[in-house]
Chains A and B, each alone.
Chain A
Amino acid sequence: MKPLKKCILMMADDDPDDREFVREAFEQCGFEGEFRYVEDGAELLDYLLLQGEFSGGSECPAPDLILLDLNMPRVNGHEALTLIKSNSKLRRIPIVALSTSESADDIEKTYDLGVNSFITKPSSFDQLVELADGLKRYWLEMVKLPTTV
Chain B
Amino acid sequence: MVGGGVRNLHEVDSERACGLRIRSARHRHRMSFQEEQKSQDRVISELQQRVAELEANDRFRLVVESAPNGIILASPEGVITMVNQRAEELFGYSREEFVGLRIDELVPTRYRGHHAGLRDSFHGDPKTRAMGAGRDLYAVGKHGKEFPVEIALTPIPEGGETYVLASIIDITQRKQSDEALLRYAEELERSNAELASFASVASHDLQEPLRKIRTMGERLRALCHHELDEKGRDYLDRMVKASDNMHRLIRDLLSFSRVETKGRPFSNVDLNKSVAEAISMLELAIEESSSGIEVSGDLPTVTADEAQMMQLFQNLIGNAIKFRKMDANPVVRISAAPVKMGKRDGVELRVKDNGIGFEEKYRDRIFEIFQRLHGKQQFEGTGIGLAICKKIVERHDGTITAFGRPGEGAEFVVTLPLEQPKQREISQS
A interface with B by C-beta (< 8 Å): 17, 21, 24, 100-101, 121, 123-126, 128
Checking B204, B207, B208, B214 against A124 with a beta-carbon cut-off of 8 angstroms, the contacting residue is B214
9 closest Cβ pairs, A-B complex: A125-B218, A125-B215, A123-B211, A17-B212, A125-B219, A124-B218, A21-B215, A124-B214, A100-B208
CA of A125 to CA of B223 in the docked complex: distance in angstroms?
12
Are B204 and A123 within 8 A (Cβ)?
Answer: no
Are A125 and B212 within 8 A (Cβ)?
Answer: no
Q: Mark B215-253, 1 if CB is under 8 A from A, else 0.
A: 100110010000000000000000000000001000000
CA of A24 to CA of B207 in the docked complex: distance in angstroms?
21
CA of A24 to CA of B247 in the docked complex: distance in angstroms?
23
Hey, which chain B residues are within 8 Å of A126, CB to CB?
218
CA of A24 to CA of B223 in the docked complex: distance in angstroms?
12
Are A100 and B214 within 8 A (Cβ)?
Answer: no
Hey, which chain B residues are within 8 Å of A21, CB to CB?
215
Main secondary structure of the interface of B (DSSP, over half): helix
Are B218 and A100 within 8 A (Cβ)?
Answer: no
Hey, which chain A residues are within 8 Å of B222, CB to CB?
125
Hey, which chain A residues are within 8 Å of B219, CB to CB?
24, 125
CA of A24 to CA of B215 in the docked complex: distance in angstroms?
12
Q: Given known contacts A123-B214, A125-B219, what 20 new A-B pairs fall within 8 Å (CB)?
A: A17-B212, A21-B215, A24-B219, A100-B204, A100-B207, A100-B208, A100-B211, A101-B204, A121-B211, A123-B207, A123-B211, A123-B215, A123-B247, A124-B214, A124-B215, A124-B218, A125-B218, A125-B222, A126-B218, A128-B215
* B245 → A minimal CB distance (Å): 13
Question: In the complex, which residue of chain A has the Cβ closest to the Cβ of B222?
Answer: A125
Hey, which chain B residues are within 8 Å of A128, CB to CB?
215
Question: In the complex, which residue of chain B has the Cβ closest to the Cβ of A18?
Answer: B212
Question: In the complex, which residue of chain A has the Cβ closest to the Cβ of B205?
Answer: A100
* B116 → A minimal CB distance (Å): 58
Residue of A100, A101, A124 with highest tally of chain B CB at under 10 A: A124
CA of A125 to CA of B222 in the docked complex: distance in angstroms?
10
